[in-house]
Chain A
């Protein structure tokens, strides 16, 4: 199984809502990542989890809260988002956090009204 799955595929939320994005992989990878991608732009790294511990936070606003409950799961909790947070949110994983191939999920298309 070389797949990274993400749910939901699409999410529309108001600025006062609380929602969560979910990412799952069963490849035994020990590094997982969240990226944000705006239209016609490259992905931008948000967070890196290495062996279930947060190792990189790219100065992401606190309205985005990552969580890694176990080695297969990665969540991104969303609260009080702004319309400019609307984007494609991509999850990825790799065997280790060393320079290595990253496997991406299909993404969650988020719209904040």
Chain B
């Protein structure tokens, strides 16, 4: 069953601009994670935010979580061409390690 929806599906920005991606989910969660995937390669974990947290920062990344709205956002500040990738949110409802991924946002950062 699909848990996460992301928008936009695709985003194209210039280097130096900020990129914001949104994720919505349907049921209660333990945590929400964001992953990046460069074309045809494995996923890289970016950040994990727990259900009792509202905001988290890691370098140029800022993640917010609103459990009342069942939504999260990922902000990448001062984007670089190397940030070009697909970004997925993933939720874990049970304590089984079962992650359910959103459909993803494809980000293109133009130099």
Interface set of A (CB-CB < 8 Å, partner B): 4, 6, 31, 33, 41-45, 48, 50, 55-56, 88, 90, 92, 94, 96-107, 109
Docked pose: A106 CA to B40 CA in angstroms: 8
Asked if A55 and B45 make an inter-chain contact with CB atoms under 8 angstroms apart, the answer reads no
Q: Which of chain A's residues have a CB closer than 8 A to the CB of B44?
A: 104
Chain B, interface residues (CB within 8 Å), range: 20 to 34
Q: Which of A4, A43, A98, A106 contacts B101 (CB 8 A)?
A: A43
Asked if B42 and A102 make an inter-chain contact with CB atoms under 8 angstroms apart, the answer reads no
Known: A42-B88, A42-B103, A109-B40. A102 touches B45 (CB 8 A): yes
What are 14 A-B residue pairs whose CB atoms fall within 8 Å in the complex?
A6-B42, A42-B88, A42-B104, A45-B99, A48-B96, A48-B98, A50-B96, A55-B96, A92-B43, A98-B95, A101-B45, A101-B48, A104-B43, A107-B40
Q: Which of A41, A96, A103, A106 contacts B45 (CB 8 A)?
A: A103
Interface set of B (CB-CB < 8 Å, partner A): 30-31, 33, 35, 40-45, 48, 50, 88, 92, 95-104
Docked pose: A103 CA to B43 CA in angstroms: 8
Q: Which of chain B's residues have a CB closer than 8 A to the CB of A104?
A: 35, 42-45
Asked if B31 and A42 make an inter-chain contact with CB atoms under 8 angstroms apart, the answer reads no
- Residue of B35, B42, B44 with most chain A CB atoms under a 10 A cut-off: B42
Q: Which of chain A's residues have a CB closer than 8 A to the CB of B92?
A: 99
CB distance from A30 to the nearest CB of B (A): 10
Docked pose: A24 CA to B100 CA in angstroms: 23
